[in-house]
């Protein structure tokens, strides 16, 4: 790999510096975790699937005017990306009420959320990613009001673009989590990944889970599901190029 020092190790990805100070390699691992890291496993091929899916979705967003960190899939599991100063926010967009929203608030299960809900959590393991409001976010120095307004605007745009794209592939985009950073010029850029690890995808006809909820629920066909989604989202030529059959 053209990478050198490991500069960040997450629960399912590593980030390495490269020869170019403005670029990094994001390495997708096969590790999978849930419940604040309490449930763990290693699923062979998951990093491969997620790197292909994320690269494809970033490409769709770039084509629609959203700045993303992604430059190219350099090889399986390795995305060449712009180096960003990450903002410790988990920006969650919800189109349907499910997951933690039902545990915390009296929404009806599967209630349609129109307009979508944008929620921001503090990405901080020590504090277990608590939900923020704008005043707390600004007082902690995590982001300015201007940054928050822009992040919200971009997230709503991403939701629209991805919902439409995935609908054509037979997938309902239920909710998802994004992470943003700033590039060397101070521009807000979408980073991290968009994959079945970070989104809820439901089969548009059967409403079957096509994402990490399968792992959270203890299903034994998690990798089959990731491969199925990869086949639905990624172009045939790229599946062939990167040798997923």
Q: How far apart are CA 104 and CA 82, in angstroms?
A: 36
Q: Is 199 in the site for ligand 5GP (CB under 6 A)?
A: yes
- Residue 84 tokens, joined: 């960003």
Secondary structure element (H or E) that encloses residue 202, with its range: strand 199-203
Q: Which one of residues 45, 99, 170, 231 is an interface residue with ligand 5GP (CB under 6 A)?
A: 99
Which three-class secondary structure string do you get for 33-54?
EECCCCEEEECCCHHHHHHHHH
Strand partners, 41: 32
Residue numbers 117-156 binding ligand 5GP by CB under 6 A: 129
Q: Which one of residues 191, 194, 200, 230 is an interface residue with ligand 5GP (CB under 6 A)?
A: 200
Q: Is 30 in the site for ligand 5GP (CB under 6 A)?
A: no
Nearer to ligand 5GP, 18 or 200 (CB): 200
Q: How far apart are CA 228 and CA 236, in angstroms?
A: 13
Q: Which one of residues 50, 51, 159, 198 is an interface residue with ligand 5GP (CB under 6 A)?
A: 198
At 210 the three-state DSSP class reads coil
Contacting range for ligand 5GP; rule: CB under 6 A; set: 41-49, 152-160, 194-202, 227-235 = 194-202
Nearer to ligand 5GP, 78 or 212 (CB): 212
What's the gap between Cα 71 and its chain centre? Answer: 16
List all residues 6 or more positions away from 113 whose beta carbon is below 8 Å from its beta carbon: 94, 95, 96, 97, 107
Closest listed residue to residue 176, CA positions, set 151, 150, 158: 158
- Report helix, strand and coil shares of the chain as percent, to nearest 5: 30, 35, 35
Q: Which one of residues 90, 147, 179, 227 is an interface residue with ligand 5GP (CB under 6 A)?
A: 90
Q: Is 177 in the site for ligand 5GP (CB under 6 A)?
A: yes
Contacting range for ligand 5GP; rule: CB under 6 A; set: 45-53, 94-102, 179-187, 202-210 = 94-102
Nearer to ligand 5GP, 18 or 121 (CB): 121
Binding site residues, ligand 5GP, CB under 6 A: 90, 92, 99-101, 129, 175-177, 197-200, 212
């Amino acid at each position: 790999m053209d990478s050198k020092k490991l500069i960040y190790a997450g629960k399912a990805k590593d980030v390495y510096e490269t020869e170019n100070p403005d670029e990094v390699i994001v390495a997708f691992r096969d590790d999978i975790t849930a419940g604040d890291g309490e449930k763990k496993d290693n699923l062979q091929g998951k990093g491969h699937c997620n790197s292909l899916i994320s690269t494809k979705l970033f490409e769709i967003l770039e084509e629609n005017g959203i700045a993303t960190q992604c430059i190219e899939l350099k090889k399986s599991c390795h995305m060449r990306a712009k180096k960003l100063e990450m903002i410790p926010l988990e920006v969650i967009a919800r189109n349907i009420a499910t997951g933690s929203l039902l545990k915390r608030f009296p929404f009806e299960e599967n209630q349609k959320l129109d307009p979508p809900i944008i929620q921001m959590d503090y990405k901080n393991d020590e504090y277990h990613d608590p939900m923020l409001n704008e005043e707390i976010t600004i007082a902690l120095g995590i982001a300015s009001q201007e940054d928050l307004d822009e992040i919200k605007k971009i997230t709503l745009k991403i939701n629209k673009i991805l919902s439409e794209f995935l609908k054509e592939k037979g997938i309902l985009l239920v909710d998802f989590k994004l992470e943003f950073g700033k590039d060397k010029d101070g521009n807000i850029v979408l980073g991290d990944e968009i994959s079945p690890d970070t989104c809820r995808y439901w089969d548009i006809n059967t409403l079957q889970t096509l994402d990490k909820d399968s792992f959270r629920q203890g299903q034994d066909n998690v990798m089959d599901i990731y491969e199925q989604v990869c086949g639905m989202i990624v172009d045939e030529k790229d599946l062939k190029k990167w040798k997923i059959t």
